[in-house]
Amino acid sequence: MVTSKKIYGLVGYPLSHSFSPKYFQKKFQKEKIDDVSYELFLLENINLFPNLFKNNPNLQGVNVTIPYKQTIIPFLDELDESAKKVGAVNVVKKLKNGQLKGYNSDIFGLQQTFDNILTYFPTQKPKALIFGTGGAAKAVEVCLNDYLIDFQYVSRQSTKENCCQYENLTNNILENHLLWINTTPVGMYPHNNQCLPIVYDVISPQHFLLDLIYNPEETLFLLEGKKKNANIQNGLQMLHAQAEKSWEIWQSNC
C-alpha cells in the first residue's frame, strides 16, 4: 500500500545504539503529529546514500550519525553555514526543488551542554581534551572555540595539529585538562565493555567527564570518573537538543 506519510529517518552504520526513533515517535504521539514516520536507514557504505531519496520519494530528511558525518558531504547539493563551520553534517533536508542540503545541529546541542558544564567551573574556564577527531569532534571544537576554552585533541594517530596520540598522553596533561570529552564510539552499545586507553587514576573531583554516547547511560569512561567523584554527563541532553533542532530545520519553509 502506498503511503502518503512524510518520512524522516536516521542514516549510519551501525544503528542499534540509537534512541532517535524512540525520541521522535514519542514526540509525534505527544504533539499529535500523525502524518509522518521516522525510520532507520542502515547503510553499509556511504555510496548507497544517493539511492536513498530516489527509492523513497516521501523521504523529506534524515539525521546522519557515525561514521558518515563527513563522508556524506560530497553527496549533497548545498551546505548550510552551520555545516560549513563545523565541516560535518548530521542533518540532511530535501529542499522544495529536490536538492539535498546539509546542516549541523550538533553545535546547538553542545551549546546547551557547555552552558551547563561551565557552571561547575565558576572561577576559571577549564582546559579540555577531545578524544577522537571525527565529525562530532569537529562540532565540539567549534563550540570550545566559541566559549574560548583551550583544548587538545587525543587520537590513535596524530592526524592534525594540536593532537596527541594516546601513548604520548602524560599524567601531567590529564591532570591539567579538567574537561574530558569523548567523541568516539568506544564504549557504545553493544560494546559496553570497551574503554578509552588512558590513565584514569589521575581523575580528581575537579574533573568533568562528558561522553557524547548516551547508550549505555553510563559508559566505562563515565564510570571511571564516577569512581573518583568527578562530575559526569552523557550525551542524552545533546541528543534531545539536536533532535529538536533537526525537526525545526525540516519544518522550515526554505
Verify that 233 and 145 share a domain, yes or no.
yes
How far apart, in whole angstroms, are the C-alpha atoms of residue 149 and residue 152? 10
Verify that 142 and 233 share a domain, yes or no.
yes
CATH number at residue 33: 3.40.50.10860
Verify that 227 and 245 share a domain, yes or no.
no
pTM over 0.85: yes
Residues 196-220 have a mean pLDDT of 97
For residue 56, being part of any structural domain is answered with yes
Per-residue pLDDT band for 1 (boundaries 50, 70, 90) equals very low
Residue 126 belongs to domain spanning: 107-237
The mean pLDDT of the chain is 95
Is 69 among the catalytic positions? yes
Residues 200-227 have a mean pLDDT of 97
- β-partners of residue 63 are 10, 91
Residue 116 phi/psi, 5-degree rounding, is -70, -45
Verify that 93 and 165 share a domain, yes or no.
no
Q: Give me the number of domains the chain comprises.
A: 2
231: pLDDT strictly greater than 70:
yes
Count of alpha carbons within 13 angstroms of residue 115, beta-carbon side: 9
- 78-79 β-sheet, strand order: 36-42, 6-12, 59-64, 91-94, 100-103, 78-79
Per-residue pLDDT band for 76 (boundaries 50, 70, 90) equals very high
DSSP 9-43: EEEES--TT--HHHHHHHHHHHTT--SEEEEEEE-
Residues 148-167 have a mean pLDDT of 90
Which residues, in sequence order, are CB contacts of 134 under 8 Å at separation 6+?
Answer: 66, 67, 69, 70, 88, 183, 184
For residue 1, being part of any structural domain is answered with no
Per-residue pLDDT band for 254 (boundaries 50, 70, 90) equals low
Verify that 201 and 223 share a domain, yes or no.
yes
Catalytic residue among 69, 93, 138, 245: 69
For residue 19, being part of any structural domain is answered with yes
CATH number at residue 201: 3.40.50.720
Give CA 155 to chain center in angstroms: 17
Q: What percent of the chain has pLDDT over 90?
A: 93
Verify that 123 and 229 share a domain, yes or no.
yes
Verify that 226 and 112 share a domain, yes or no.
yes
